[in-house]
């Protein structure tokens, strides 16, 4: 158990270090807000708040498309995200690479209520269409699961998302 915790901490530190070493800025302009569709581990509404030096990412929806006769699962996550690299394509086209730190939480509404909680490190790739307020993203978020089905249980956690946002500047 101690080795597992140590390995998880080392992985988290190695994943977060590049974001903390980079100049702090978000991939969105200060004061912008994006809302749209988020598909993946958490399928529902995706949001992004441009804060200037960083962005705040938030999603809420169904967890793992899980709806059945025994109930359903809802999930939400929030993370702070920093741009660490910008891939220049051609002309005004570019794709910011982002890294952040956040938390995911899931709730089971069934015969027996349960919740999950994880700390995640989302690594993302974004593309905003020039002259159109439409932004696309892909995020992979490895992490550490702290609670599973309401029980304290340290383990590896993971989330993945793809989505599109309409951005209001």
Which CATH number covers residue 102?
2.40.160
Confidence check: pLDDT of 4 > 80:
no
Number of domains in the chain: 1
Give the separation between CA 38 and CA 154, rounded to whole angstroms: 27
Query: What is the domain extent for residue 39?
Result: 2-168
Confidence check: pLDDT of 44 > 80:
yes
Q: Residue 126's pLDDT band (boundaries 50, 70, 90)?
A: very high
CB distance 128 to 134 below 8 Å: yes
Mean pLDDT computed over 127-151: 93
CB distance 145 to 157 below 8 Å: yes
Those residues whose C-beta lies under 8 Å from the C-beta of residue 3, and which sit 6 or more positions away, are none
Q: Residue 18's pLDDT band (boundaries 50, 70, 90)?
A: very low
Mean pLDDT computed over every residue of the chain? 84
């Amino acid at each position: 158990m101690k080795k597992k915790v140590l390995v998880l901490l080392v992985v988290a530190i190695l994943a977060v270090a590049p974001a903390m070493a980079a100049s702090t800025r978000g991939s969105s302009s200060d004061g912008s807000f994006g809302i749209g569709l988020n598909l993946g581990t958490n399928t529902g509404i995706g949001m992004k708040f441009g804060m200037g030096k960083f962005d705040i990412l938030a999603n809420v929806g169904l967890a793992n498309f899980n709806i059945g006769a025994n109930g359903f699962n809802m999930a939400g996550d929030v993370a702070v995200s920093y741009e660490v690299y910008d891939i220049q394509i051609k002309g005004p086209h570019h794709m910011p690479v982002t890294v952040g730190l956040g938390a995911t939480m899931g709730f089971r509404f069934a015969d027996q209520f349960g919740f999950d909680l994880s700390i995640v490190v989302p690594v993302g790739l974004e593309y905003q269409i020039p002259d159109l307020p439409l932004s696309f993203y892909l995020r992979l978020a490895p992490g550490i699961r702290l609670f599973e089905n309401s029980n304290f249980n340290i383990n590896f956690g993971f989330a993945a998302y793809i989505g599109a946002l309409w951005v209001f500047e």
